[in-house]
Structure 1
Amino acid sequence: MASALDSLLFFFLDLLLFPLSAMAQTNGSISLGSSLSTSDNSSWISPSGDFAFGFTPVADKNLFLLAIWFNKVPEKTIVWSANIDSLVLDGSKDELTSSGNLVLSNHQGQEIWRAQVTNGSVTSASILDTGNLVLRNSNSGITWQSFDHSTDTILPMQILDMGTSSTLSSRETETNYSSGRFELDFQADENFVIYTVNLPTMAHYNSYWSTSTMGTQSQMIFNQSGYIYLRHTNGSMHNLTSGNIVSTKDFYHRATLDFDGVLSGACGFNSYCRLDETQRPSCNCPPNYSYSDPSNMFKGCKPDFVSESCEPNGSGKGPRPQFQMMEILNTNWASADYQWYTPINEDQCRETCLGDCSCAVAIFKGANCWTKKLPMPNGKMYADFGGKALIEVPFGNSTSQIPSPSGSNNGKSDRGTLILIISTILGSSVFLNLLFLVAILLVVFFMKHKKLLRHQPEQISLGMNLRSFTYKELEEITDGFKQELGRGAFGTVYKGMLVSNAGNFIAVKKLERLVADGDKEFKAEITAIGRIHHQNLV
């Protein structure tokens, strides 16, 4: 846990450093009856000029936030705001009323926000050089201060302890100041934790970071030197910042719980967090998944296909050949397991998920396989994981990733490619389906016709011109001179059948000896046979 503590600012809190510039001190007291408006571009300034309090446009520039910001920084950097969940339109007003109430009203005069004073009446207000907006009573005592009602940022000289200042809430996005998905909380057990939050119910999921210091400290302090530490009840300190901190005399400091939460809880369901080249998190969707909200990648991902549901009366088991597994290296959804198999190899892990209608993703590492179902929270890609995520997707729908079967499955891969091609063709359109069917029929017809031609060289019409047959052809016609019909003077007669006249039998005479006039006699016999056949036809 020590390493997590030492990395608090680096991972969770965005530390901002801005160079200081000199400015003359002014009187920062604000009297009763003073007001600010969105239309006059006015603000209340701290004595040093380092901080300002007033309205600042956000989003589409037609909405306004009542906020405190660094006044000397070119890019207006907000450190506190009053109406993060209730932006106002132009014409709105903030007023320190004559009765001592600091009230924000919208353009229709409706009250949007009020500083809840609990300690006496207010006689003045001021914005301090620490960035703290305070309301004072007649004895100059503080009756209300912005440091007790932090939003997403703490500043040097600010303390978080049990009570109203015990929580930091992130923004929803970088440009949306509404309450976001992450919360740093000083719990009643004195443990500092960071949660992911379910919007809009604001219910807490399990914490993904904590100091694990229950009952040992009383405050988290951001001191003037730029260090953040825990002060324990026994007076000891535990530093949460590491390395050398640049001087607060030369730079502005702030610590902010960023809108992305930075660590594994940053991304929504079914997506996974990946640090980019600047070590900032980006949320990615698995293959065949897309962002639930394209304008906000932190809201998770949804499948681009209809997931197969388990039949109520079925076992939910069995092969699903219409699905395949795509892989993402070094990626895991650590808290979404429902089954664990070991020992097992990668092919078995793939088949296990494909055979389970509840399985959407399998994680394979070593000889272990964890199956997971949707929705999957807290996805993360990290280089030292050493395993891979196997994502179940339909055949033919994946373009963002390439399947990575093991080298022993080349045959399966080839068959899968063939199935993919055929599926793509058949699924394209009715016209292509018909064209594909006609092409198959034509191929079958020509192949059969070609085969028949090879066996039909004897196609003639009996009674017309005679033709010669080879011995091999005659051998095929008679099935190897198999059935004997009778014997003549010069040879034996066999039963045969021409392919072109299926069902009509012929007689084939095989000469066994030759005489001087044998050839003439044989031709005369053939002519007589042909004449008899012609008469039968008539």
Structure 2
Amino acid sequence: MAAILFFFLLLSANFLATTQQGHFNTSLGSSLTPTRNSSWLSPSGFYGFGFYQQGNGFCVGIFIAGIPQKTVVWKANRDSPPVPANVTLLLTGGGRLILQSAEGEETSIVNTPEPVAKASMLDSGNFILYNSDEEIIWQSFRNPTNIVLPGQGLLAGEELYSSVSETDQSTGIFRLKMQHDGNLVQYPKDTPDSSAYAYYSSSTYGRGDNVSLNLDGHLYLLNYTGFTIKNLVPGGYSTEETIYLMKVDADGIFRLYSFTTNQSNMSIVWASSDDKCSPKGRCGLNRYCVKNDGDIYCQCLPGFAVSGERGCQ
């Protein structure tokens, strides 16, 4: 049974791409603007690819359109600033997905090895680009940012990076990596893959090169044979009318969330740590983390004074 589940998870994106094309394909020449016809929806309308508002501007990404609170699950050009309302998202006749300014300047949304023939936003939350032979040449599931959706998985060598904040999806200061040694590990962003910098580990070192993190109501690690080598979340949770996602939050802790279509907010089901001071580097240079009645504070080491947003000198 585990083997069947494993291969289903790895092949689900291709299966959905085949079965959910129909009239929901986005063809060459299609365009979106932030204020009118702002997204391409999945067949059910639950997920959307297109513009969402951030501050006084707009960003391009994938979001859950089927709940009251528009939750972003993937952002294009993650560290680029928001754009004004007079831009156009265009799948060009030449097979490029670009952002075009009012002055005609072009910015690529994704880079593909060959021209795009069509695109699809699937009900799995996966946005897919195809070539003229209907082969997948790019998909958001294999280019994750800070979230894993059911059926997506995090494959060996792939990483998630936290966001700056809940409202700013730019790259934050923490990462979660599914290592080639079979270990799922968290580090500060700009550090080597070394145990000296790790602050979370699944303790599955040496379990093989093809271990993946999977989500379908609970989080677990599978090897290439489909054998579950570790359940990160004890037990399982009902998937009936409930949707789950796993996110590396801005505070460096990764959490399993659940929600239903009538909820305005997601609920935390499980967290990799209850200690909000556990992520290394959270407080910046020459500062340390202090807990007080559930809140945390960053204080300067003795002899240092606050200098800048995340440091002491």
Return the TM-score normalized by structure 1: 0.45
Cα distance change, pair 37–237 in 1 and its aligned pair in 2 (3 A): same
Residue type of the partner of 1:103? I
2:149 to 155, 158, 179: 155
Q: Residue 116 of structure 1: CA displacement?
A: 2.3
Provide the residue aligned with 1:285 in structure 2. 299
Provide the residue aligned with 1:49 in structure 2. 45
Is 1:169 aligned to 2:161, yes or no? yes
Q: How does 1:508-523 map to 2 (within 5 A)?
A: none
Q: Tell me the secondary structure at the aligned position of residue 116 of structure 1.
A: coil
Return the TM-score normalized by structure 2: 0.74
Q: In 1, distance between residues paired with 2:243 and 2:225?
A: 31
Q: In 1, distance between residues paired with 2:129 and 2:227?
A: 32
Q: Residue 76 of structure 1: CA displacement?
A: 1.4
Residue type of the partner of 2:35? S
1:228 to 219, 226, 234: 219
Q: Tell me the secondary structure at the aligned position of residue 130 of structure 1.
A: coil
Q: In 1, distance between residues paired with 2:279 and 2:79?
A: 26
Is 1:206 aligned to 2:206, yes or no? no
Provide the residue aligned with 1:184 in structure 2. 176
Q: Residue 117 of structure 1: CA displacement?
A: 2.2
Per-residue CA shift, 1:454-508, capped at 9, x if unaligned?
xxxxxxxxxxxxxxxxxxxxxxxxxxxxxxxxxxxxxxxxxxxxxxxxxxxxxxx
Q: Tell me the secondary structure at the aligned position of residue 141 of structure 2.
A: helix
Is 1:246 aligned to 2:229, yes or no? no
Is 1:81 aligned to 2:75, yes or no? yes
Residue type of the partner of 2:77? N
Cα distance change, pair 137–82 in 1 and its aligned pair in 2 (3 A): same
Does the aligned pair in 1 maintain the 2:51–2:61 contact within 8 Å? yes
Q: How does 1:84-95 map to 2 (within 5 A)?
A: 84-90=78-84, 91-95=86-90
Does the aligned pair in 2 maintain the 1:276–1:282 contact within 8 Å? yes
> Percent sequence identity over matched residues?
34
1:31 to 16, 21, 27: 27
Q: Residue 283 of structure 1: CA displacement?
A: 3.2
Residue type of the partner of 1:44? W
1:270 to 269, 273, 286: 286
Q: In 1, distance between residues paired with 2:301 and 2:211?
A: 45
Provide the residue aligned with 2:136 in structure 1. 142
Q: In 1, distance between residues paired with 2:250 and 2:224?
A: 32
Does the aligned pair in 2 maintain the 1:131–1:155 contact within 8 Å? yes
Q: Tell me the secondary structure at the aligned position of residue 253 of structure 1.
A: strand
Residue type of the partner of 2:53? P
Cα distance change, pair 213–125 in 1 and its aligned pair in 2 (3 A): same
Residue type of the partner of 1:184? L
Does the aligned pair in 2 maintain the 1:82–1:113 contact within 8 Å? no
Provide the residue aligned with 1:196 in structure 2. 188
Per-residue CA shift, 1:94-141, capped at 9, x if unaligned?
2111122212234443333332223x5432111000110001234433
Per-residue CA shift, 1:34-58, capped at 9, x if unaligned?
0112232521111111111111121
Does the aligned pair in 2 maintain the 1:32–1:97 contact within 8 Å? yes
Residue type of the partner of 1:92? V
Provide the residue aligned with 2:7 in structure 1. none
Q: In 2, distance between residues paired with 1:234 and 1:246?
A: 24
Does the aligned pair in 1 maintain the 2:181–2:207 contact within 8 Å? no
Q: Residue 250 of structure 1: CA displacement?
A: 1.2
Provide the residue aligned with 2:271 in structure 1. none
Show structure 2 runs of 5+ residues with no match.
1-21, 254-277
Q: Tell me the secondary structure at the aligned position of residue 84 of structure 1.
A: coil
Q: Residue 64 of structure 1: CA displacement?
A: 1.8
Per-residue CA shift, 1:132-172, capped at 9, x if unaligned?
00012344332210011101111000022235xx0111112
Cα distance change, pair 176–98 in 1 and its aligned pair in 2 (3 A): same
Residue type of the partner of 1:285? Q
Q: In 1, distance between residues paired with 2:204 and 2:64?
A: 33
Q: How does 1:359-374 map to 2 (within 5 A)?
A: none
Cα distance change, pair 203–57 in 1 and its aligned pair in 2 (3 A): farther
Aligned length: 263
Q: Tell me the secondary structure at the aligned position of residue 78 of structure 2.
A: coil
Give 1 or 2 for the bigger CA radius of gyration.
1
Residue type of the partner of 1:127? M
2:126 to 121, 132, 138: 132
Does the aligned pair in 1 maintain the 2:127–2:139 contact within 8 Å? yes
Residue type of the partner of 2:108? W
Residue type of the partner of 1:149? N
Q: In 2, distance between residues paired with 1:185 and 1:287?
A: 30
Q: In 1, distance between residues paired with 2:184 and 2:219?
A: 13
Show structure 1 runs of 5+ residues with no match.
1-25, 304-538
Provide the residue aligned with 2:267 in structure 1. none
Does the aligned pair in 2 maintain the 1:159–1:219 contact within 8 Å? no
Per-residue CA shift, 1:172-221, capped at 9, x if unaligned?
223222211101123343432211124xxx77782222234334241324
Is 1:258 aligned to 2:254, yes or no? no
Does the aligned pair in 1 maintain the 2:218–2:237 contact within 8 Å? no
CA RMSD of aligned residues (A): 2.8
Q: Tell me the secondary structure at the aligned position of residue 251 of structure 2.
A: coil
Per-residue CA shift, 1:227-280, capped at 9, x if unaligned?
222212454212343244433331221111111114231322333334566x6x
Q: In 2, distance between residues paired with 1:244 and 1:155?
A: 19
Cα distance change, pair 141–246 in 1 and its aligned pair in 2 (3 A): same
Cα distance change, pair 233–39 in 1 and its aligned pair in 2 (3 A): closer
Does the aligned pair in 2 maintain the 1:89–1:107 contact within 8 Å? no
Residue type of the partner of 1:100? G
Higher relative contact order (CA 8 A, sep 6+): 2
Q: Tell me the secondary structure at the aligned position of residue 66 of structure 1.
A: strand
Residue type of the partner of 1:210? S
Q: Residue 291 of structure 1: CA displacement?
A: 4.7
Does the aligned pair in 2 maintain the 1:227–1:239 contact within 8 Å? no
